[in-house]
Chains A and B, each alone.
Chain A
C-alpha cells in the first residue's frame, strides 16, 4: 500500500508559559520546545503498521518552516520512505482550510491508497485538515479514527464518539483517516535509524511549485489571554503548610 502521512511540528505549550508577541497575532516561540503533534505520531504509527503488513511506501508530508525537517526526519527514522516539506514561510494566514489546500497541491501528483493525519493539532485546534483534504481530493474520510484494519481491499474503521462509544464503519480505499490519540503505541526511533535519516534528502516545495491561487477562510485578528473564570483559591505556604490546609478543607467537608 502507498500511504501518506501529514505531520505538523507544534510548540509544546501544556506546561510552558505562553506569551503574546509584539504583532499581537502570534506567540513568543523562542523559549518553547517543539515536537511532532501528538495525534500525528499515532497517525504515523498507524501507517507504519499497515506498511509492515502489506508492504508499500510511506511519504511523510509537512507544511512547516525549515525546522519541520527535524520532525520529518523523525518520521523517516521511524519508517517513512520519503519526506516532503512545503515552505510555510512563503504563505500567510494558514488556517486549516488553506493548509489542507496546500497539502492537496502536493498530494495530487502522488499515488496513494490512504492518507493519515492527526484528528487535530494542539496549537490551533482546527480538526479541519483531514476532512478538507479528503473533500478536495474527492475521496472518503473518517475523523476521530480509533482503529483501521484493512482486508480484501476494504477498511474496517472505528471512530471514537463522546463517552467512549464507538462508531464502526466499512470504507473503501483510497480514503483519508484523521486519527485520534491512543490508537496504537507509537514506536521510538532507534539511534541508528535517526543517524541514517539525518543523511536522507527531504524534497522541499514552495510557492513556485503551486499553481493554485489560494484563499484562506479566516484571518486571525488578535490573540488575548483567556478571561479568568471563577479562579481557584490558591493555598499558600510551604508544602507542609499547604498540605495541612488542604487536609483541613477536606475534613471540614466531611470527606475524611
Chain B
C-alpha cells in the first residue's frame, strides 16, 4: 500500500498547529487514494508528544536522540533523507513554515525528487501530484502539475486545511537515529525570545493596523490620532517594522503577533496570508484600501474602498461626534 509521510513539526516541547493541519490533509489524501499515513517525529524525550499523535496517523516513526533536542535544518535533512529512502513514500508532506522551508527544498534536491512549496491545495490524479499555489501577492492562483515520479515532496501553507480530530490508533515504532551529531558547518546555538515592549497589542479590544499604504513615516501620526480617537492601539504589517517605523512587538502576522480584538481596522494593508494569519479571528474586521481587489476584502466584514488619507480624518470626526 502506498504511504504518505508527514513530518511532525514541534518546537520547545509543543507540537505546532501546522502538524495537525498536515495530518488532516494527509488523512484526506490517504482515504481517497487507499494509502496509509505515516508520521515522522524527530526529537528527544518526546513520549507525550508521540501519544498525542496516536489518533492522527496509521503509523508513527519516532527517532529519539539528543541531536534532535533543538531544530537544525541540516540534521533534519540528513535524517529524513535516510528515512525517506527506506520507507519509499509516494508523498512527503511538510509545513511551509520557518521549519519546513529550511530543509525541504534541499532535502528534495538531495533525494532527486520533484517538489514544490507553499501549496494551498494538493490532489493526487492518475498517480501524479497536482497542486494549487498562490502567486503575485495573492492575486492569482495557479494549478501546477509536478513531473512524473514515484515520490514527491511538498510544503503546505498553514491555515489551508483546518485541523480535525483523528480516529486512528497508530502503531508507534521507534527507529534508530540516522544522525548522531550536528555538522560542523551548521550548529544550533540557542533560541532568542522576541523582545517585549510597552504596549501589548494582544490585550486591546480595538486594534488599528497600518500597512505600507501609509507611504511615509511622517504620515503615522494620522493613524495614531485616529487610534486615540477610537480608543485603540496601533499595530502594523511587516513592512512598517522592516522600515523601523514601529517596533517589532506591534507587528501582526505569522512572524509577529496574533491578535483577536473585538475590532480590527486594517488601513492600507493588502492582506497577505502572513498578515491574515495574525488577525483573522478578530470579532469584526473593517478594511480601508483603495484597491477593490486587495485580498484583505476577502477576510474583512466591512470594506471601505477609498483613499485612506481621505477616510481617516472623516471617520475620526464621525467617531468623535458620536462620542460627544
Minimum CB–CB distance from B73 to chain A (whole Å) comes to 7
Q: Does B67 count as interface, using CB distance less than 8 angstroms?
A: no
Asked if A142 contacts B102 (CB within 8 A), the reply is yes
Binds B, one of A122-130, A196-204, A205-213: A122-130
Minimum CB–CB distance from B114 to chain A (whole Å) comes to 4
Asked if A169 contacts B188 (CB within 8 A), the reply is yes
Closest Cβ neighbor of A219 among chain B residues: B145
> Which of chain B's residues have a CB closer than 8 A to the CB of A162?
16, 97-98, 254-255
> Which of chain A's residues have a CB closer than 8 A to the CB of B38?
none
Q: Which of A144, A234, A250 contacts B303 (CB 8 A)?
A: A234
> Which of chain A's residues have a CB closer than 8 A to the CB of B242?
181-182
Asked if B298 contacts A125 (CB within 8 A), the reply is no
Minimum CB–CB distance from B315 to chain A (whole Å) comes to 4
Q: Does A131 count as interface, using CB distance less than 8 angstroms?
A: yes
Q: What 1/0 flags go to B123-153 for Cβ under 8 Å of A? A: 0000000100111111111111111000000
Asked if A175 contacts B185 (CB within 8 A), the reply is yes
Asked if A144 contacts B286 (CB within 8 A), the reply is no
Q: With A17-B293, A185-B244, A240-B314 known to touch, is A135 a contact of B302 (CB < 8 Å)? A: no
> Which of chain B's residues have a CB closer than 8 A to the CB of A144?
98, 101-102
The total of Cβ contacts below 8 Å across the A-B interface reads 277
> Which of chain B's residues have a CB closer than 8 A to the CB of A156?
189
Closest Cβ neighbor of A15 among chain B residues: B291
Q: With A134-B106, A135-B110, A218-B146 known to touch, is A233 a contact of B301 (CB < 8 Å)? A: yes
Chain B: interface secondary structure? mixed
Asked if B117 contacts A171 (CB within 8 A), the reply is no
Q: Which of B74, B231, B297 contacts A231 (CB 8 A)?
A: B297
Q: What is the CA–CA distance of A219 and B128 in the complex, to the nearest angstrom?
A: 12
> Which of chain B's residues have a CB closer than 8 A to the CB of A168?
188-192
Minimum CB–CB distance from B282 to chain A (whole Å) comes to 11
> Which of chain A's residues have a CB closer than 8 A to the CB of B136?
11, 13, 18, 27, 122-123
Q: Does A247 count as interface, using CB distance less than 8 angstroms?
A: yes
Asked if B186 contacts A140 (CB within 8 A), the reply is yes
> Which of chain A's residues have a CB closer than 8 A to the CB of B290?
15
Q: Which of A134, A171, A226, A246 contacts B302 (CB 8 A)?
A: A246
Q: Which of A27, A128, A142, A234 contacts B105 (CB 8 A)?
A: A128
Minimum CB–CB distance from A246 to chain B (whole Å) comes to 6
Q: Does B116 count as interface, using CB distance less than 8 angstroms?
A: yes
Q: Does A116 count as interface, using CB distance less than 8 angstroms?
A: no
Minimum CB–CB distance from B266 to chain A (whole Å) comes to 10
Q: What is the CA–CA distance of A5 and B224 in the complex, to the nearest angstrom?
A: 38
Asked if A169 contacts B300 (CB within 8 A), the reply is no
> Which of chain A's residues have a CB closer than 8 A to the CB of B255?
160-164, 180
Q: What is the CA–CA distance of A169 and B314 in the complex, to the nearest angstrom?
A: 49
Q: What 1/0 flags go to B170-201 for Cβ under 8 Å of A? A: 00000000000001111111111110000000
> Which of chain A's residues have a CB closer than 8 A to the CB of B238?
181-182
Binds A, one of B19-27, B48-56, B58-66, B304-312: B304-312
Q: With A217-B146, A226-B140 known to touch, is A15 a contact of B270 (CB < 8 Å)? A: yes
Q: With A144-B101, A163-B255, A185-B244 known to touch, is A132 a contact of B106 (CB < 8 Å)? A: yes
- Other A-B contacts than A97-B109, A164-B248, 6 sampled, CB-CB below 8 A, are A18-B136, A127-B105, A131-B104, A159-B98, A166-B192, A231-B297
Residues of B with Cβ closer than 8 Å to A?
11, 16, 71-74, 96-99, 101-106, 108-110, 114-118, 130, 133-147, 155, 183-194, 205-206, 212-213, 230-231, 238-239, 241-244, 248-249, 251, 254-258, 262-263, 270, 283-287, 290-293, 295, 297-306, 310-311, 314-315, 317-319, 321-323
17 sample A-B contacts, Cβ–Cβ < 8 Å, listed by A number = A96-B116, A131-B105, A166-B193, A169-B189, A182-B239, A217-B146, A226-B139, A231-B297, A232-B302, A242-B304, A242-B306, A243-B318, A244-B318, A246-B304, A247-B318, A250-B263, A250-B319
